[in-house]
Amino acid sequence: MITAAPVIVESYYFLDAKAKIALLDWVLRGGLSVIDVPVTAYGEIAQTIEKYADHDIDFTDAAVVWLANTYQKQQVLTVDKADYSVFRLKNNQWFQLLEWYQSV
């Protein structure tokens, strides 16, 4: 699995200290590859933010769209199903939303 670096930062908003440390440990153990967003990607990210302005898309979501387009990935693991059901990739394909949690 890969993610954009802003996802780690945004995740911290929802986690307590123990979970924050666990997330970093998991990344360090290779559980997740984290890709930095280069400044050269900001133009494409800005276009995505403009395109989905009516959905109040933030930098993190636009960075994930950029990452998916750059690495040609269609699957996304997210709790934000409403927005990722609307976002589209450059090839006009929908994201494939992966289930990360199901109640028993």
- Residue 4, classed as helix, strand or coil, is strand
For the chain, what percent of residues have pLDDT higher than 90? Answer: 84
Closest listed residue to residue 8, CA positions, set 96, 20, 67: 20
Confidence of residue 81 (pLDDT cuts 50, 70, 90): confident
pLDDT, tens digit (0-9, with 9 covering 90-100), for 55-69? 989 999 999 999 999
Mean pLDDT value across the chain: 93
Q: How open is the CA angle 6-38-44, to the nearest 5 degrees? A: 90
